[in-house]
Amino acid sequence: MAHIALNEFEQMSPAIQEKARPILEKTGKLGEIFKLLALDENIYFATDAMVQRFLLDQTHLSYEIKESIALLISKENGCKMCVDVHKGIAKMLGLSEQRIDEVLEGVDAITTSEAEKALLNFCIKASKKENYKILKEEIDALKGLGYSDVQIVEAVAITGYFNYINTLSNVFALGE
């Protein structure tokens, strides 16, 4: 049970209800993170924009890499709810069960290129408290593996997004 009162559909603003309606029609329920974000329109719409732009829109990184970051960072942060949600999203976006299982075992278990493993390990390091210790040489190494500045920034932005959403979920005990 969440540590804070969550909005039900009837308590949400009309603008958020408009976003909630298709989800309710498709799934019959709203997730706890949706209900938490719906407490405030600014928080909801800022977060929704990040989800759309970072995860759902086609960007400089593949859906496979983006969802791998989502799963890895959520697992690192101990956010079971986010891991469960993103297992489902990863399947919807075309990731195989095998890939999802490998990601959840850790970067070394993933059948992928060394370049992708380096990027995913970098994201894990970027998600940590001591991310300020990342050196220019580590970023240059990713560039040497073929990643552009934009791809690296995007990967770190997705990492930061998951630190944010995992924190909300964990602090308020969502999904327990």
71-99 pLDDT, tens digit per residue, is 999 999 999 999 998 998 899 888 999 99
Q: What is the pLDDT of residue 57?
A: 84
Q: What is the pLDDT of residue 87?
A: 93
Q: What is the pLDDT of residue 92?
A: 87
| Inter-residue contact 104 to 83 (CB < 8 Å) | yes
Closest by CA to 154, choosing from 75, 77, 79, 58, is 58
Q: What is the pLDDT of residue 44?
A: 97
Closest by CA to 95, choosing from 64, 126, 74, is 64
pTM for this one? 0.93
| Most distant CA pair in the chain, distance | 52
pLDDT by position in tens, the chain (length 176): 889 999 999 999 999 999 999 999 988 999 999 999 999 999 999 999 998 888 888 899 999 999 999 999 999 999 999 999 899 889 988 899 999 999 999 999 999 999 999 999 999 999 999 999 999 999 999 999 999 999 999 999 999 999 999 999 999 999 87
Work out the number of other CB atoms within 10 angstroms of the CB of residue 173. Answer: 13
